[in-house]
A = this chain, B = another copy of it.
Amino acid sequence: MPQHSPLDLAEGDPFGPHNLPYGVFTTSDEPQRRRVGVRYGAYVLDVHALAEAAGSAHAAVLSAGTLNPLLAAGRAIWSAVRAELVDALTDPARRVTVEPLLVPLADVALHLPFDVADYVDFYASEHHASNVGQIFRPNGDALTPNWKHLPIGYHGRAGTVVVSGTPVVRPAGQRKAPADAAPTFGPSQRLDIEAELGFVVGTPSTLGEPVPLDAFADHVFGVTLLNDWSARDIQAWEYVPLGPFLGKSFATSVSAWVTPLDALAHARTAPPRRDVPLLPYLDDSAAAEPGGFDIRLEVAINGHVVSRPPFSAMYWTAAQQLAHMTVNGASLRTGDLFASGTISGPRPEERGCLLELTWSGRDPVELPTGKRTFLEDGDEVTITAWAPGPDGVRVGLGEVTGKITGR
Contacts and interface: CB of A to CB of B under 8 A. Distances in A.
B207 A324 contact: no
B251 A146 contact: no
Most B CB contacts (10 A, CB to CB) among A119, A150, A159, A241 go to A241
B243 A331 contact: no
A30 to B, nearest CB: 25
Contacts of A149: 174, 176, 182-183
A325 B246 contact: yes
A242 B240 contact: no
B239 A241 contact: yes
A329 B243 contact: no
A240 B154 CA distance: 11
A49 B160 CA distance: 36
Given A330-B157, A330-B246, A238 B150 contact: yes
Interface in A173-218: 173-174, 176, 182-185, 207-208, 210
Contact of A328 (B182, B249, B405): B249
Contacts of A120: 245
A152 interface: yes
Most B CB contacts (10 A, CB to CB) among A159, A207, A246 go to A159
Interface string A123-166: 10000000001001100000011100110111111111010000
B158 A328 contact: no
Contacts of A117: 158-159
A191 to B, nearest CB: 11
Given A155-B249, A185-B280, A280-B185, A329 B171 contact: yes
A300 interface: no
A237 B173 CA distance: 30
A150 B175 CA distance: 11
Interface string A315-350: 000000000110111111100100000000000000
A246 B328 contact: yes
Interface string A214-251: 00000000000000000100100111111111110111
A277 B153 CA distance: 34
Contacts of A156: 155
A383 to B, nearest CB: 20
A379 interface: no
B118 A234 contact: no
Contacts of A208: 169, 250, 405, 407
Contacts of A185: 279-281
30 contacts: A117-B158, A118-B157, A118-B159, A120-B245, A133-B241, A136-B241, A146-B176, A146-B183, A150-B183, A152-B241, A153-B242, A154-B155, A154-B242, A154-B243, A154-B245, A155-B155, A158-B158, A159-B332, A169-B329, A172-B327, A172-B329, A174-B279, A185-B281, A208-B407, A239-B242, A243-B243, A246-B328, A247-B328, A249-B328, A250-B330
